Structure 1
Amino acid sequence: MKIGVYSYFIKNQARIFTALVLTGILSVSSGLTLIKDARAASANLSLETSSDVSKDNTKSNRLPRPVANAVLQDLASREGISTRELKITNYNQQTWSNGCLELPQPDEACTEALVSGWRVVVSNGRENWIYHTDSNGRSLRLASANTPSNQLPTSIKNAVLQAASKRLQQPISQLTIVESQQQTWRNGCLELANPDEFCTQALVPGWRVVVSGRQQTLVYHTNQTGSVVRLNQKPNQSTLTPVTIPVSELPPPLDRDVVFRQISSGGFAGTTYETVLLRNGQLIRVRIGDANDSERSVRRVSVQQVRQFLRSLERYKFTQFRNLSYPAPGGAADYITYTLTSQKNTVQYNDISQNNLPSNLQVVVKAWNQITASAQ
């Protein structure tokens, strides 16, 4: 009997021990499973959160549609092409340092205020254009149309105007800077040595500035800062000195569909012709005063030629000659005066002085002559 009880007790202990071992194994396994599930859940949560943040950042840095539309429409209008031919290839948010979006025009006063906006790059596959805009596209400027390196520094402008005002005995308000060009003078006298003056033989970076008054135009040479200003009393006759066209003598602005106009007048016959280039490639020439319109001619160039010509106006900075006239030499007669007008400005010159025009203006004149010569 004792042996039976003892045997039962031993067997029962073994069963209990086995049960405890199995329970422990199951507990450990469950714990590991819970830990694994918890880690997986944590990883999934982390990935989802990261993805949401990335999406939010992408959305906040996306170029607003009004800005994109404004840039594309402005460039399409400038180039005379469809917006479908243009593509925005890059953009980033900017904070411009002034109200001119850091692209001031000559003599423009800019509000000193920070402006949030965008820098946008547009391409047609061959050329790129860079725009500065405000945050909503209501204000935008084409960077490639602006030439910061050629903008006359304020210190030089002030120094030249003060010198001209003193010499002409006219208030600065009645003087106008009609031309300014960067130069590298060959000596310390800015190539304007006085008699018996010794000049240092060193290259001096500076500016050539033309100032127009009521009855006279002056040409000044300066150094890079405006601390040295010299009057060129015998300006090179091979370089024409322009004068500002009075507002009352400016021709009427162009119609919307006209991109360029030439008015030629004078010569032996004294006749006046008007030639206009339309955006669609039509080239129309009429004689002013022809009551029967008998000399009207209508020819055509390709739209691609029109676009190339408009790009030439931008590339060679036609706007820098805004409302300037390059007059004929004194005593000249029977010459033809040409008045060229774009959507932005007017320039006047004559046939006998054409070869002495500024190089950029000569290129524009040549491009226009090619348009008129190739029309059919």
Structure 2
Amino acid sequence: MKIMVKAYFSTNKARIFTALVLTGILSVTSGLTLIKDATAASANFSLETSSDVSKDNIKSNRLPRPVANAVLQDLAQREGISTRELKITNYNQHTWSNGCLELPQPDEACTEALVSGWRVVVSNGKQNWIYHTNNNGRLLRLASTNNPSDKLPTSVKNAVLQTASRRLQQPISQLRIVESQQQTWRNGCLELASADEFCTQALVPGWRVVVGGREKTLVYHTNQTGLVVRLNEKANQNALTPVKIPASELPPPLDRDVVFRQISSGGFAGRTYETVLLKNGQLIRVRIGDENDSERSVRRVSVQQVRKFLRSLERYKFTQYRNLSYPAPSGAADYITYTLTSQKNTVQYNDISQNNLPSNLQVVVKAWNQITASAQ
């Protein structure tokens, strides 16, 4: 979904300017932009909370919309929060070894039939929740609240980091555990058998660990102690090749009082939202094309949080991705395009491919999501 500069300036600019006068933040006016008018029916959940959800469930490797709805609604009800605060950050197809989706309750009898379904990770920017579901989302179970490496045994963590360090030719100090989850593998090959390899059929308790490096993310399967570590090659064959954003499609530069901006566009509802962070900690979000400005929100984070976020841009070298776009796969539809702009550069990506971004860029995206989630 391309962003055209000429669409930034429309008759709505005067309305936005007036609204900013009323809030006492005139300096933001030149930073507020318009990609395109978007008027469509609202979806069942926030367009900024959905991950890659197939509208017609045509592609088997994309998360079906009913599954996404079911997971988001279940978690929102459990935690007493709005689905607008939640975002599906990762998912993959999985065949569970029993009718309890490998999450039996105490003394529960589980059918031994294999169940095709999904493993879905949901985040509010502060913590993650992991769900197991069947194919249509009518059966789902909350696996855990996951904070990377909190419960990961030290022996497993060290083994994975050492293996990843050799693979990526990077020192361990430059690697991080992005995600970890306990798993019970269906065979002695940890479900990663090579050609003609014989695998014992015994269940093997272990871990699925995601490691982030400078430019790549690796997925490993391990046993319970880390003595056996295998790279999931298939999961790592999704590296993205960026393309340069044409100068004519770059958004306008930021006003001097604005330190960061996110523009999100697309999704099922086809709406465009703009969020800007000011030096003083104000976080302003508007929907472009909202004639009554009814969806405007003005929240705040501390100046210390702003400074910390700016340091993260420097630390993780946000400028190395200058004016790059990480496009969606060919044929993809209903995805959300995010355009991030600092005082020095612009980066564009989409929710379908977010987890395949360079690891440093993923850290920046996470830091930005934490800013927006913590604003009051």
TM-score, normalising length from structure 1? Answer: 0.38
Greater CA radius of gyration, 1 or 2? Answer: 1
Higher helix share: 1
